[in-house]
Amino acid sequence: MPSSIVVATREQIYCNLNGEAVILNLSNGMYYGLDAIGAHIWSLIQEPKAVSDIVETLTVEYEVERDRCQRDLLSLLGKLAAENLISIEPQQV
C-alpha cells in the first residue's frame, strides 16, 4: 500500500479547529475528529498523494522512524477508508 494514492472523498466537509480537524461525512451525517498530526495528514490528502510521499513528509517534519510512521499512517488511512472519508487507489505506472 505504500505506492497507493490516497485522497479525501468529495462526500465530506471539514474545518480546522485550533490545529485539529473536524470532519462531517455527508453520506451518513457522522462527525469525526483528528488530532493535530491527523489534521496535518488530512490537509496533505486534499489532493491525491502517494502514501510513500506522505511518509516522507511526516518523517522529516516530525523526526519519527520511517517504519513506525508508515505503520501508524496505514492504520489511520485504514480507519478513514472504512468510514468512506478517503479513497485509496493503486498508483498508475
Q: Based on the structure, what is the number of domains in the chain? A: 1
Is 92 inside a domain boundary? Answer: no
CATH number at residue 45: 3.90.930.60
- What is the tens place of the pLDDT at every residue in 62-82? 989 999 999 999 999 999 999
Domain range enclosing 32: 5-87
Is 69 inside a domain boundary? Answer: yes
- What is the tens place of the pLDDT at every residue in 43-69? 999 999 999 999 999 999 998 999 999
Is 10 inside a domain boundary? Answer: yes
User: How many C-beta atoms surround the C-beta of residue 36 within 10 A?
Assistant: 12
In sequence order, which residues have a C-beta less than 8 Å from that of residue 73 and are 6 or more positions away?
41, 51, 54, 55, 58
User: How many C-beta atoms surround the C-beta of residue 91 within 10 A?
Assistant: 12
Q: What is the pTM of this model?
A: 0.91
Q: Could you give the C-alpha distances from 10 to 13, 62, 64, 65, 77, in angstroms and in order?
A: 8, 28, 31, 32, 16
Is 82 inside a domain boundary? Answer: yes
Is 93 inside a domain boundary? Answer: no
